[in-house]
Amino acid sequence: AVPLAFVATRALSVSRLGPGPGRLRGGIVRRTARLLLMGLRAIPEIVWALLFVRAMGLGPAAGVLALAVTYGGMLGKVYAEILESVDNRPAQALLESGSSRIAALAYGLLPNAAQELASYTVYRWECAVRASVVMGFVGAGGLGQLMDQSMKMLNGGEACSILLVFLALVLLADALSNGLRRLLA
């Protein structure tokens, strides 16, 4: 998500500084990155999970890849939009003075966007934890598969324990998000 967002954001585009031969190429690269991000997030994680289970067999690797592909597309798009929504004048000034895109990102955009980026990242991690339950039900391993087995065996105690683990993970994500926002404020 991060490299694609870095390529897809207009705020870090050196080619937008002025006329030149790189302007068309930069636009094509940005549009291609945005199309790739759209393609990654357009297919639901359950479909990716079924494809990866078919290709790799049952197990947690298929679920992890399915979530990584889908959430990589979502995060990349949102990261690019967050970086474009903050004041980009410091980044443009750095680029115009000859600084690298990484320096423009680190010193021009991230200070203004860090809080929102961290908050959204933790939120998406929380969503991925919940989606991992569904991945387990289709054979992609993890706690979801344990939950499915517990429910099929009518083992209420084990199913309740797994639900408590999910609750703890969501509470941890909320605490982490609050802590990061305070730290970055």
Averaged pLDDT, 166-180: 85
Angle of helix 60-85 versus helix 45-56 axis, rounded to 10: 140
DSSP 86: S
- The residue with tokens 């990061």 is 180
pLDDT digits (tens, 9 = 90+) for 104-133: 888 988 898 988 998 899 888 888 888 887
pLDDT digits (tens, 9 = 90+) for 15-68: 655 555 667 777 888 899 999 999 999 999 888 888 988 898 887 888 889 899
Confidence of residue 100 (pLDDT cuts 50, 70, 90): confident
Please state the domain extents for the chain.
Answer: 2-184
- pLDDT reading at 135 higher than 90: no
pTM equals 0.79
Averaged pLDDT, 150-163: 88
Of 145 and 54, the structure prediction assigns the larger pLDDT to 54
Averaged pLDDT, 149-174: 87
In whole angstroms, how far apart are CA 70 and each of 46, 76, 118, 183? Answer: 9, 10, 18, 29
pLDDT of 22: 64
State which CATH number among 1.10.3720.10, 1.10.10.10, 3.40.50.2000, 2.120.10.70 fits the domain covering 2-184: 1.10.3720.10
CA nearest neighbour of 80 among 1, 26, 18, 25:
1
